[in-house]
Structure 1
Amino acid sequence: MKNWKRTLLSLIISAGMLTTTAPAIAAPQQPSLKVNNENVEFAMNAPVVEQGTTMVPLKITLQSLDIKLTNAQSGTIHAVVDGKKITLKSKTKLINGVTYAPIRVIGDAAGYDVQWDQKSRTVLLVSQATNENARGFMWEVGNKGNTVYLVGSIHIADDSFYPLRSEFEEAFAEADYLGVEIDISKAADEEQQQLIMKMGMYQDGTTLKDHVSKETYAKVGEILKQNGMEPNAFDAYKPWVAETTLSSLKSIKAGYKAEAGIDLYFIQKALKRKLPILELESFESQLGMFNNFSQELQEKNLKTALDNYDTLDDNVDQLAEMWKSGDDEQLLEFTDSMATDPEYNKAMLIDRNIGMANKIEGYLNSDKKAEYFIVVGAGHYLGEHGVIQLLKDKGYDVVRK
């Protein structure tokens, strides 16, 4: 097993920790912009990233797309494209006297797909005629007039994952229910934060230093200092919180965020549609799983994250490309890498997969004759203990889409 894979598995298996523990860190350098591989030059005001959204200077960006801006105020942008007047509804923001708007809104209106080149930190606008949307992971299973779409999520992403291919959007448009591991739009709720404090922090007066080796504790301090934080910033937290937070920190610095993850993308769309959201798990069950790891496993996972910290951003890029290509073989390799540690494999995959498959079977046997759009970490689906095989063992025909 390549140890770096262990540090990435939570990105395709567990959603809760990615939205609850990572503290704020300095923002990465400002991105640049290309239109069909041609650089857009900004004299002074460059694009910025705010809360996972890439904002660009409105006027000069529209000019680069041969769009004439006529007016922008009160969340409405008026412009002219190919001689036709268009109106865009979008939040704008004044930065240093210049009006900024989300690049996705502008790109969509002009007929481009918005992508992201992580290595060069460049926003790419690609003509839709030349772009192949990300394949991702989706399966379909039906029974008794019910249809369940099973979508494999990656819990962090960036603009380059969107737009999703039409099969995802069409299936979701017909859905009567959205199913997710947990509704991470509620991650900031006081109840969820109290759970983190109760489970993830020491309550007996001890600190992280008392529960890990001197070498591990020193390495944690070194990496925290690299991120502009105090070396004892994690003292109150257990090793599993330190591990998942460090992995999240590096992913965020690499440009990937939970706000752009596939599950949150569909949760936000469901909220707009007032679509019922079903939770296959709970914050408490996910946090409890991490908290119940043995002390040995918690430190082992933390050491793996520390040892692979310097290369984690490149490895997240590889995971992202795996999702976009919909590579079943590579996904199975990731999930199978857990089998080398029975405790980790049982808690993270085997037990949870059984619970998910049982709930999905309940939807398939419902008398509602409804369509269910289920989005859980992609790592839960494949392999002999995966949700797909569990459903096949129950007699259902599951088809890759």
Structure 2
Amino acid sequence: MQVTKALLASLLAVASAASAAVGGPVGAVQAVVEPAAHVPPVPLLWKVSDGDNALYLLGSFHLLKDGDYPLSADIDRAFAAAEKVVFEIPPEALLDPTTGQRFLEAAAYDDDRGLSDVLSPRMREQLQQLIARQGGTIAQFEGYEPWFVNLSLLMGLSQSLGFSAEQGLDRHLMARAEAAGKPTAGLETFDDQLRALDATPMDEQVIGLAEFIDRPRDMPGVLAKLHQAWRAGDIERLDQLTRVEMLEQTPETYRIVNVERNEAWLPKLQAMLDDYTGDDMLVVVGALHLLGEDGVVAMLRDEGYAVERICSACEVAVVDD
């Protein structure tokens, strides 16, 4: 299951844009929706300071449920303190009417191959059976690369489990920023995210899809574990389930989807600290981007900024112990 979890992590890392274009055309399984949780998730929230202003870094889960709200008071305070809210991509990019078409164009092959050419006969038959159970045919995916098929299956699965991209933390805070009249911005463009997805190696795409279609009934549990680790604010567990397994099992995907984008964001984050006086900002990105030595939290700490985790629930837990 390691590759499957790594692929899920990589897809969730870019789902802020992808979910705007892929509405879950195929469901991988039918599942019972879990009861709503009533305890606010423990936030993956850090405060980065340089003496005259602060940057709040918040780790998002792009697919959430009604029961994941309301949010922690820590997030509410960071949001209130921020003069500006920054996301992976600017909110207006999700409303662009060309989003869907551009997404499909990026998912298409740039040569004369099709899905049947990159999958083994056994994999193709398994995928056909999986899609047929949901009333579809493999023909609808023939022109698209495995990462797109994997993402389509993931979005369908997440919907059957009660998750929604519209309820994702980034989408929720985009709406709050608009309602509060706070300026917003993005660290990259929609096309940047598409290029990251499309640049992942074909062999790693196929491996990830094989894991999904070999064990479709295991996937709800995989997604549930990721969600539970995020809700618990469990950095070590989430790091193991996402970053570590992606690095070990799909190293090129890890480099392209995570490391290269983090490195591209770093100077922009530094500018928010160095070029502004008194204006605090809230930056909301996929939780994967904040974890480990390649994460932007560690990168900013290495640049000499003061970094602290903001987690009232963690402090209470320590006192209770």
TM norm. shorter chain > 0.5: yes
Q: 1:140 to 1:287 in 2, by over 3 A?
A: same
Contact 1:22/1:246, CA 8 A, preserved across alignment: no
Contact 1:19/1:184, CA 8 A, preserved across alignment: no
Contact 1:250/1:309, CA 8 A, preserved across alignment: no
Aligned length: 306
> Pick from 245, 257, 263: which aligns with 2:170?
263
- C-alpha displacement at 1:23, in angstroms? 4.0
1:219 paired residue number: 126
Is residue 308 of structure 2 the alignment partner of residue 307 of structure 1? no
Q: What pairs with 1:94-109 in structure 2 (closer than 5 Å)?
A: none
Bigger share in helix: 2
- C-alpha displacement at 1:12, in angstroms? 4.6
Q: Deviations over 1:178-230 (max 9, x none)?
A: 11111356435222223213211236554211232222222221111122222
> Pick from 270, 290, 298: which aligns with 1:361?
270
Is residue 223 of structure 2 the alignment partner of residue 316 of structure 1? yes
Percent identity over the alignment? 27
Unaligned runs of 5+ in 2: 311-321
- C-alpha displacement at 1:247, in angstroms? 1.3
Normalised to the residue count of structure 2, the TM-score between the two structures is 0.88
**SS class of match (2:62):** coil
**Higher relative contact order structure (alpha carbons within 8 Å, sequence separation ≥ 6):** 2
Q: Higher Cα Rg: structure 1 or 2? A: 1
Cα separation, 2, equivalents of 1:265 and 1:275: 14
Structure 1 range deviating more: 252-261 or 206-215: 206-215
- C-alpha displacement at 1:374, in angstroms? 0.5
- C-alpha displacement at 1:156, in angstroms? 0.3
- C-alpha displacement at 1:275, in angstroms? 1.7
Normalised to the residue count of structure 1, the TM-score between the two structures is 0.71
Q: 1:192 to 1:368 in 2, by over 3 A?
A: farther
> Pick from 290, 298, 308: which aligns with 1:389?
298
Contact 2:55/2:282, CA 8 A, preserved across alignment: yes
1:329 paired residue number: 236
Task: State the one-letter code of the partner of 2:270.
Answer: E
Contact 1:154/1:262, CA 8 A, preserved across alignment: yes
Cα separation, 2, equivalents of 1:11 and 1:298: 11
**SS class of match (1:281):** coil
Bigger share in strand: 1
Q: What pairs with 1:156-175 in structure 2 (closer than 5 Å)?
A: 156-175=63-82
Q: Could you say what the CA RMSD is over the residues aligned between the two structures, in angstroms? A: 2.3
Cα separation, 2, equivalents of 1:123 and 1:345: 32
> Pick from 77, 99, 106: which aligns with 1:192?
99
> Pick from 88, 91, 101: which aligns with 1:181?
88
Contact 2:24/2:159, CA 8 A, preserved across alignment: no
**SS class of match (1:233):** helix
Cα separation, 2, equivalents of 1:13 and 1:247: 13
